[in-house]
Structure 1
Amino acid sequence: MVLSPPAPALGIPDLEQAYEDCRVETERWAKTFYLGTLLMPPAKRRAIWAIYVWCRRTDELMDSPEAQALPVAELSARLDLWEQRTRELFAGQVRDGLDRVMADVIEHYPQPLEAYLEMIEGQRMDLAKHRYADFAELKQYCFRVAGTVGLMTQEVMGLDPAYTTAPWSERPDTSEAAVALGIANQLTNILRDVGEDRGRGRIYLPQEDLQRFGYSEAELMAGTLNDNWRALMAFQLERAREWFARSEAGVRWLAPDARWPVWTSLRLYRGILDAIERLNYDVFNHRAYVPRVGKLMDLPLSYLIAQAR
């Protein structure tokens, strides 16, 4: 079924302009991620930009400056309307430019509606859940708000024909690795944004880990830097790196034109963990990031790794 409308609807930008709008937004808000997408063929990169913007719109329902001032009931109503609109999008209803590009993506790269609904559920978790007892709870949150992105994008990435064209080929399942990469990215976000999240009254670090390392919630809210904090953060960074390692196994199954960008994005995002270490774990007063020169220097190495897999 073709989900794109046959002709431009009144007030909705044409498909090319709508994709360009997504490109501009992705470049503005996700510089490291955007760099990786530029290594993809045009059709794939455009699809990834569209999915990114949809995910950003979902996140903004909860975390935009405007949303921060809204009561919980109104935020909940927003999410309900967004869920209804998402279901209608998958049924073929197009209202604006983002809908138009998403309809085009769904047509060319079949998408699981469930992944999109799970992401919305992750936003609902932020309505009332501001603490996580253990990693099992945090993992569910990370799956919903980021692991689902792997499920949304795996059809866009595609599989290497070498693994699928022979009569005896058994189609590999890349879902577990795709989800692992999303979880790794979200854990990295959490560690980078500890200082910012505390201003919203949210602590994503598991409560059992705070207790294990003898670091109190009051100390976190005050931005206390001590040996207990550094030990706690070192443990969290190691956990995030383990999830990145889990994701690596699935990259070798990807289509050749996707392996280099995925390796680049994986390695550059993992580099944020190294940046946190260089800050001596002071994420209260500094924002960890990979400098542009570091990104450019990593490109050839990521390319070599992609060819070897």
Structure 2
Amino acid sequence: MSQLPDYLPEAVLRFNDLALDALPGPGDASLESAHRYCSHLARRHYENFIVVSPFLPTELRRHFYHVYAYCRWSDDLADETGDTGLSLELLDWWDGELQACYENEFRHPVFIALRETIDRFDIPIAPFRDLLTAFRQDQVVTRYRTYADVLEYCRYSANPVGRLVLYLCGYRDRERQLLSDATCTALQLANFWQDVRVDLEKGRIYLPLEDLGRYHYTEEDLEAGVVDDRFRGLMSYQVNRTRRLFDEGLGLCGMVDARVGLDIELFNRCGSALLDQIERRRFDVLSRRPTLSSARKAGLFLKYALKRLWIR
């Protein structure tokens, strides 16, 4: 991008993943230009987002793009600077832009588009702001003493995404929100257990320190990559309680539009399959990062897609 729009801080020029070259030109504040940018950004990162599902209702895709673009910008502002102070400064700027959006003042294309979605589905500011709380926390908190502390982090980092999906699908009740929270928290935890080594290299440990103590395993052991009976017991403990959350969250699938329910079930089953993979490797997540193969993902998709079609 040759010239930065005047609504952007100069620091965002370093972010390669935000498709800055696709931003609408100066003076173009139209909704459709803003939507095209959000769509471009979401498709650029399609592998990470529900919008690629052929089962997602077509009329909702536009709004999923808008929400995704907000999440993408939030994530990159937090993680791509390499400078805690700058990340916090940019997150404060983004939070201010969010507040302005709710006050009908916006220039950034993400918020021009997001305002349409907020109005259409009457979405409160809380889930958007909660995500920023998690991103800020990641800048300053690198250890969690208890499992309850980790769950509290998930309340802000993961659960708002599921609640935004529910708002887009027209569901606002507490029962569905709690079931969504179970799946979203489980997905976040599964990602933590998958990325123990990756997070450690960033200076972060999401394994509860009280659980390390319970299994007489130390941070020094973790740094050294020790995989023994203590570590396997520690990881088995995390995997088992994460699996219970996935099981709880499955109850939501039959309580929403069948097309959305399939997407939720696929996310849930893929998360459970990742736990299976960790278990098959005897809980060694330190020597090599566990992943699901494309074939395994495709198999899960076919299995549960056919199941849903058969039920219908």
> Where does residue 152 of structure 1 map in the other structure?
164
Out of 240, 243, 247, the residue aligned to residue 242 of structure 2 is 240
Is structure 2 residue 40 aligned with structure 1 residue 21? yes
Write the distance in 2 (CA, Å) between the matches of 1:176 and 1:258.
17
> Where does residue 283 of structure 1 map in the other structure?
285
Task: Render the CA deviation track for 1:92-113: whole Å, top value 9, x for unaligned.
Answer: 3332332233223213222220
> Where does residue 300 of structure 1 map in the other structure?
302
- 1:132 touches 1:204 (CA, 8 Å); kept in 2? yes
> Where does residue 168 of structure 1 map in the other structure?
none
TM-score under structure 1 normalisation? 0.83
Indicate the SS of the match to 1:133.
coil
Write the distance in 1 (CA, Å) between the matches of 2:110 and 2:124.
17
Write the distance in 1 (CA, Å) between the matches of 2:170 and 2:243.
25
- 1:112 touches 1:152 (CA, 8 Å); kept in 2? no
- 1:47 touches 1:156 (CA, 8 Å); kept in 2? yes
Is structure 2 residue 194 aligned with structure 1 residue 183? no
Q: Using the TM superposition, give the Cα deviation of residue 266 of structure 1 relative to its aligned residue in structure 2, in angstroms.
A: 1.6
Write the distance in 1 (CA, Å) between the matches of 2:62 and 2:266.
17
- 2:35 touches 2:62 (CA, 8 Å); kept in 1? no
- 1:26 touches 1:34 (CA, 8 Å); kept in 2? no
Is structure 2 residue 77 aligned with structure 1 residue 61? yes
TM-score under structure 2 normalisation? 0.83
Write the distance in 2 (CA, Å) between the matches of 1:268 and 1:287.
16
Task: Render the CA deviation track for 1:50-73: whole Å, top value 9, x for unaligned.
Answer: 323322322222222xx22x1x33
Out of 82, 86, 93, the residue aligned to residue 94 of structure 2 is 82
Q: Using the TM superposition, give the Cα deviation of residue 81 of structure 1 relative to its aligned residue in structure 2, in angstroms.
A: 1.1
Distance 1:213 1:75, change over 3 A: same
Task: Render the CA deviation track for 1:161-204: whole Å, top value 9, x for unaligned.
Answer: xxx9xxxxxx6731111112211111011111111111111111
Out of 200, 203, 206, the residue aligned to residue 201 of structure 1 is 203
Write the distance in 1 (CA, Å) between the matches of 2:269 and 2:285.
20
- 1:279 touches 1:286 (CA, 8 Å); kept in 2? no
Q: Using the TM superposition, give the Cα deviation of residue 132 of structure 1 relative to its aligned residue in structure 2, in angstroms.
A: 0.7
Distance 1:119 1:131, change over 3 A: same
Q: Using the TM superposition, give the Cα deviation of residue 133 of structure 1 relative to its aligned residue in structure 2, in angstroms.
A: 0.8
> Where does residue 63 of structure 2 map in the other structure?
47
> Where does residue 167 of structure 1 map in the other structure?
none
Indicate the SS of the match to 1:14.
helix
Range 50-59 or range 289-298, more displaced = 50-59
More contact order relative to length (CA 8 Å, sep ≥ 6): 1
Q: Using the TM superposition, give the Cα deviation of residue 150 of structure 1 relative to its aligned residue in structure 2, in angstroms.
A: 1.4
- 2:34 touches 2:110 (CA, 8 Å); kept in 1? no
Range 249-258 or range 137-146, more displaced = 249-258
- 2:79 touches 2:87 (CA, 8 Å); kept in 1? no
Write the distance in 2 (CA, Å) between the matches of 1:9 and 1:246.
49
- 1:61 touches 1:75 (CA, 8 Å); kept in 2? yes
Write the distance in 1 (CA, Å) between the matches of 2:206 and 2:174.
33
Write the distance in 2 (CA, Å) between the matches of 1:123 and 1:85.
16
Out of 142, 145, 148, the residue aligned to residue 133 of structure 1 is 145
Write the distance in 1 (CA, Å) between the matches of 2:289 and 2:51.
19
Indicate the SS of the match to 2:117.
helix
Q: CA RMSD in A?
A: 2.6
Q: Using the TM superposition, give the Cα deviation of residue 87 of structure 1 relative to its aligned residue in structure 2, in angstroms.
A: 1.1
Write the distance in 2 (CA, Å) between the matches of 1:49 and 1:210.
40
Is structure 2 residue 12 aligned with structure 1 residue 10? no
> Where does residue 3 of structure 2 map in the other structure?
none
Write the distance in 2 (CA, Å) between the matches of 1:158 and 1:295.
28
Write the distance in 2 (CA, Å) between the matches of 1:25 and 1:270.
27
> Where does residue 10 of structure 2 map in the other structure?
none
